[in-house]
Chain A
């Protein structure tokens, strides 16, 4: 089955740029969605279709996807961005949806 790999945590100082990778074989050929989840809350989408920002999501959030890695980039990180972030794809071979293991963004 298809596997998405994310680092357990990424640390960044306020005002800096956070980059959260999501690795998978030929992930560049798939559409990647990114979700943010804060403690006690359901997840919410922050980027869909690799690099599209849904209505209401700040421009500080952006995405890219190429080769074997998709990346969620958060510019000018704020304390309120501290959360768990998950990537998701649909694998056409298995017709399964797959989530990455999640990355905890720590704002120092």
Chain B
């Protein structure tokens, strides 16, 4: 069974940092492109970042570029999102998600349960 389990969310002050992790199991983690997607409770989905299977091709939404860093450790089946210079508007549930093909244009076939990040003083 495919599973994605996020961790690392919590309360952080504006300007602070947080590192999210997402452990994948039940599939060949190193073969899949992955996304981070966020959602303010009660609002819509917002794409954050994407990484290819070996970590060499990365893209970021304009709202997080320069502040967030996506990476992965395929030996540990883990996806990361390092979030620096956090702002109140980064408050959201963060989902890691698997792209169903080896292409960046594929749909998302599995999502984690999400981890809540709250940026507040």
Contact = CB atoms under 8 A, between A and B. Distances in A.
Interface in A61-108: 84, 86, 88, 90, 95-102
Query: Main secondary structure on chain A at its contact with chain B?
Result: strand
B112 A42 contact: yes
Interface residues of B, number: 22
Interface residues of A, number: 24
Contact of A42 (B44, B107, B113): B113
A43 B45 contact: yes
Contacts of A37: 45
B107 A33 contact: yes
23 contacts: A35-B45, A35-B108, A42-B112, A42-B114, A43-B45, A43-B108, A43-B111, A45-B109, A48-B100, A48-B107, A54-B107, A88-B45, A88-B47, A88-B107, A95-B59, A97-B47, A99-B37, A99-B44, A99-B45, A99-B47, A100-B44, A101-B44, A102-B44
Interface of B: 35, 37, 44-47, 50, 59, 61-62, 95, 100, 104-109, 111-114
